[in-house]
Structure 1
C-alpha cells in the first residue's frame, strides 16, 4: 500500500518507491490499514473472546475493543499510514512491558531544499541525532503528559526519518514508535530504557528492496 502521492506518481508513470522491510521479533507483525487486515484482526479477537466465559461483560469488552480497532484503522487511513507494526500475533509469551506500536508514513516535499529544511529543523530545534552509526536514519524523542481517567500518563514517541532511495531527497520514510506509561515512571527506568533500545534495534534492521510489480 502507498500514500496518495505515490498513487498519483504511479498513474503518471513515475517509478514506484522501493519497499521497506523491518526484521520483526517474535510476536510482532506488520499490518497495512486495509479492510482485509482489519477483518483478520477482528476474527482473531473473536476467537480469543470465544475462549473466555462468554458472559455479558466479555461480550461488552469484545465490542469495545473491536470498536477501538476499527477507529484505529480508520485513523491510520486518514493519516496516510502505509504500514504499522505491533505485537499482535496469537501468542501468550510476547515479553513487552508496555503497549507499543510503530507506524510508517511517507513525507513528501516539493523540493530538496524544503526537505533539507525540515531535517535541519529536527536537528536544531528538537535535537535529532543519527541512529547509532547509521547516519542515514535520524532519530528524535518526544514526550508529553496527558490526563486520562484522573491519571497522568506520559505519551512517548520516537520519530525515525530516512530518505527514500532514488527520491532525490524529496521523499522520506518516517517511522513513529510510540507507547504510554504512568507519569511516575521516569524515562530512566530500566524497563523503559529497554523499550527505547528495542525500538532502536528494530528500526536499525531497515532494508529496502525494489517495489513488486502487480
Structure 2
C-alpha cells in the first residue's frame, strides 16, 4: 500500500539556531537538506529564491566572517541546513581549520539527507569547490550541484560551462548539474522537485 505524503509548505520556514559544535546539531530524525557554496557564490540568494522569500537567508556584508551552521525548520517537517561559506581569501588559517573540523563533525554523524552544492556557472570550480564535492561524495548520500548565475552567460555557453563543472568536480554520473538563476528563478522548479523526491514529499508549495 502506497504511503501518503503530506505537502511541504516552503513559506512556513523559521530560523532555529546557529550551530558551532556537535551538541548544537539537531538529531531528531527529520530530513536535512544541506546547502554549501563559496562565500560569494550567491548561496543565500539561491535559498531565498527556493523559499520564495526576499531576505530570509541573510546576505552577509562580510562573507566568511563566522564559522557556524545555520538551521532553518521548514513546515516543521525538514531542516534546511546552511553550511558556512568557504574559500574567502581573507579568512585566517585558524578559521579555515575550524571550518574543516566543523564539516568533519557534521558529515561524520550521517545526518545528511540531500546535499546541494552551489557553484558559479561562469567559472571553473575552485580547489575549495573540489574539496566540498569530495565531502559530499564521501558522505555517500544523494547530492546535486546548482550552477548559479545562469543569467550572466549566453545560452551558447551553457553546455560547455556545465561540462567543465562536471569534469572539474569529478562528479559521479548520478549527480546532476542544474543551471540556475537566483535572479530570475530558472532551475527553481527542477531543484524543488528533487528536494521533494529525496525527503519523501509529493510536492512542494
Q: Place the TM-score, normalised by the shorter chain, in its bin.
A: under 0.3
Higher strand proportion, which one?
A: 1
TM-score, normalised by the number of residues in structure 2: 0.24
